[in-house]
Amino acid sequence: MEFGVFDHLDNDHLPLNVYFEERMQLLEMYDRLGFHSWHVAEHHCTTLGMAPSPNLVLAAAAQRTRRLRFGPMVYALPLYHPLRLAEEIAMLDQMSNGRLDMGFGRGSSPVEIAYFGVDPAGTEDIYRTQLPRILDALETGVMKVPEQSEPYAEFALKVTPLQKPHPPIWYGVHTVESAQRAAQRGWNTINLDRAEEAGECNDAFARTWRQAQGERALPLMGLGRFVVVAQNDEKAQAVARRAYPHWHQGFTHLFRRLGRTNKHPRPDHWDMLQAQGKGVAGSPQTVARFLSQQMATSRCNYCVAQIAFGDQSLAELRESIDLFAREVMPAMRAQESARHAAE
């Protein structure tokens, strides 16, 4: 079992220079305490998105860490020129000595896509056209743009990635069909749904993986959950109930401002989120017990904690991360080993 971090990089309470430095300090903790990867979101024009250019913050991460992997979850692909994105991916992979992970999507917020003058209705076509082009360029070192005339229809990249054929790819899974697509392509996954739903997806993923990938070992299949850890349940619950509404305000800001409906709704109160099984706040024992059950039910092998969110102070975040790494992670690994031994 591996452990990672998902981060929206939301902020509505700190000066930005202070905020970015604090996030870098948290990265140094993740690096030191043995987390696998840091997955960052891309958002625009909202307090949910203090990293509207993921590659900028990832370049900083490459210099502040030594072992931690990191990457976008996901690049909003319709907002990028494929040549620039391929070159920047290659740069990041080289600068980090091969620690970059990649995720690509159509963009979860049509409102944000429209701010760039891109028609949200056309993002599926852009995604289907540009993703194979980018991956092929990273693998072969040649960018092919057949709709352009010579000499621009095919040209060599001078910056190529360190990892071959390219950095690992991550895919957000919400349905059985999307899980099957990811397995056919050999991608890692992250699921944010209820544990039972994630389990159905992972069962389909494993079946398709065996058919498509043969004896190749299963990749990481992640389950994302909001997590707050403190010395006792009462303190952790108080922090989560205070911090979560700040995150939710950023999550819904543009939709409320423009009178739109968010197609990815989330509860507006912590207790509602917790009741859905999508978040936990408590002592290390409480958190380990909850997450171990979630991982077993979902058949996931990668626990992705959204630890830093809302208006939590640096001291609160340091305590939560430290307790998670030093007490929750070992307890969950021990429970996983015991479960496998009993099977």
Per-residue DSSP letters for 253-265?
A: HHHHHHTPPPSS-
Write down the pLDDT at residue 88: 98
pLDDT, one tens digit for every residue, the chain (343 residues)? 999 999 999 999 999 999 999 999 999 999 999 999 999 999 999 999 899 999 999 999 999 999 999 999 999 999 999 999 999 999 999 999 999 999 999 988 888 999 999 999 999 999 999 999 999 999 999 999 888 888 888 999 999 999 999 999 999 999 999 999 999 999 999 999 999 999 999 999 999 999 999 999 999 999 999 999 999 999 999 999 999 999 999 999 988 888 887 777 799 999 999 999 999 999 999 999 999 999 999 999 999 999 999 999 999 999 999 999 999 999 999 999 988 888 7
User: Checking phi first, is residue 192 left (phi over 0); if not, alpha (psi -120 to 50) or beta?
Assistant: alpha
Q: Which amino acid is at 126?
A: I
Q: How far is CA 222 from the centre of its chain?
A: 9
341, burial (CB in 10 Å: exposed 0-12, middle 13-18, buried 19+): exposed
Cα–Cα distance between 227 and 236 in angstroms, integer?
Answer: 9
- To the nearest 10 degrees (0 to 180), the angle between helices 54-64 and 82-95 is 10
The residues pairing with 221 across neighbouring beta strands, listed in sequence order, are 189
* Beta strands 2-7; 37-40: pairing state: parallel
C-alpha closest to that of 50 among 77, 13, 92, 85: 13
Q: Is the peptide bond before 151 cis (omega within 30 degrees of 0)?
A: yes
Full-model pTM: 0.96
Identify the sign of the CA torsion 260, 54, 304, 197: positive
C-alpha closest to that of 40 among 80, 85, 100, 88: 100
| CB-based contact 228:247 (threshold 8 Å) | no
Instruction: Look up tokens 């403190």; give the residue.
Output: 230
